[in-house]
Structure 1
């Protein structure tokens, strides 16, 4: 089963300094039929104006992954972490029993574009934690690059972020005419999100920029780029 969600059908929010597109119910957008996909609860596509951002606010019992697409994100939290992340870096925060954090675009001239994703943890009551990792952007052209994993055997210090859930996140940049193949284990879910370009899935479905697909019971996915593209793939229970 492959369910397509087009970019233009996402809920749009515009606060001037913040423009967001929500793939799942969030904030002012509520749809009881679009609450989550497996443990995936939020996929927000955000644009933040220079020198703007979110002040200190609380989170609890959620795994939060941020992918910066353009610009510089500054994070501070109540457990003592301060970090900056840009393209090529991943930010993972386990809210666990509770913490406060802030996120700002620290550039005075350049806007900030990012994806923020929330996942339900496999277990509750965890001690809050935070990490940043950096992946090899050049490797994205060669195939699907693992950037986040709940499997300790696949986690690489500084390269693959950990997460308290049975899941993985990959990024890839297939070039025009090339294909990347992903084989899922039986019974797993897959979410595809096209960041840039155009991707054909298994030769019969076309996804354009910011389109997504929620997939179940498809073990092999052949992703073919009609133009130079960038895609995110999330493997979920």
Structure 2
């Protein structure tokens, strides 16, 4: 089954310094029928204005992944970690038993656009931790590149305490990408830029998403140059 969620159906709030779209219930947006997709609990599409951001605030018992699409994002936390991430970089934070952090756009001139994803952890009581990883953007071309995984096979893949894998890809117009997973799992597909067709039937456009169940194999055909995120979930 493929459930399509159009970009314009997402909850939207513009606070001036922050322009954000929520794919799931979050903060002031509550929908009991849209709380999660498997362990995927939050997907926020944020644009943060220069020199603005989220001050120090706490988290517990959540795996938080941030994918920077453009601009810069500066992270600081109560463990002493500090890093600036740009496109080609991933932030993974395990909130675990408790952590306090801030996320700020350090640029004086350029907004930052990011995707922030929250996943329920595989177990409670994990020691809090943070890591920043980088991947080779050239390797996105016409293939699914893993950037976050439970069992990372290289230091370019961030480690997450949940049985999920996040892939990114840049698919040139007219090209296909196939993905097959173990039966009984879930696929979450998000079109960052461009447009594509799923299994030659369902069409997705910029910022549309699909929640796929009972279908272990999908073919994604780019009908224009397309950047996508695919998440393999239990």
Smaller-chain TM-score bracket: over 0.9
Aligned partner of residue 68 in structure 2, secondary structure: strand
Aligned partner of residue 138 in structure 1, secondary structure: helix
Which residue of structure 1 lines up, in the alignment, with residue 138 of structure 2?
138
Deviations 1:21-54 (A, max 9, x none): 0000000100000000000000000000011000
Question: Would the aligned equivalents of 1:155 and 1:161 in 2 still touch at CA under 8 Å?
Answer: no
Output aligned runs, 1:1-237, within 5 Å. 1-151=1-151, 154-157=152-155, 159-237=156-234
Alignment TM-score, normalising by the size of structure 2: 0.99
* Whole-angstrom CA distance in 1 between matches of 2:70 and 2:154: 24
Query: What count of residue pairs does the alignment treat as equivalent?
Result: 234
Aligned partner of residue 110 in structure 2, secondary structure: coil
Question: Would the aligned equivalents of 2:173 and 2:224 in 1 still touch at CA under 8 Å?
Answer: yes
* Whole-angstrom CA distance in 2 between matches of 1:76 and 1:95: 13
Consecutive unaligned residues in structure 2, runs of 5 or more:
none
Alignment TM-score, normalising by the size of structure 1: 0.98
Question: Would the aligned equivalents of 2:48 and 2:112 in 1 still touch at CA under 8 Å?
Answer: yes
Aligned partner of residue 171 in structure 2, secondary structure: coil
Question: Would the aligned equivalents of 2:142 and 2:175 in 1 still touch at CA under 8 Å?
Answer: no
How many Å apart are 1:140 and its aligned residue? 0.6
* Whole-angstrom CA distance in 1 between matches of 2:153 and 2:108: 35
* Whole-angstrom CA distance in 1 between matches of 2:180 and 2:78: 40
* Whole-angstrom CA distance in 2 between matches of 1:226 and 1:87: 24
Aligned partner of residue 32 in structure 1, secondary structure: coil
* Whole-angstrom CA distance in 1 between matches of 2:176 and 2:207: 19
Aligned partner of residue 173 in structure 1, secondary structure: strand
* Whole-angstrom CA distance in 2 between matches of 1:105 and 1:183: 37
Moved over 3 A (4+): none
How many Å apart are 1:155 and its aligned residue? 3.2
* Whole-angstrom CA distance in 1 between matches of 2:178 and 2:195: 16
* Whole-angstrom CA distance in 2 between matches of 1:116 and 1:96: 17
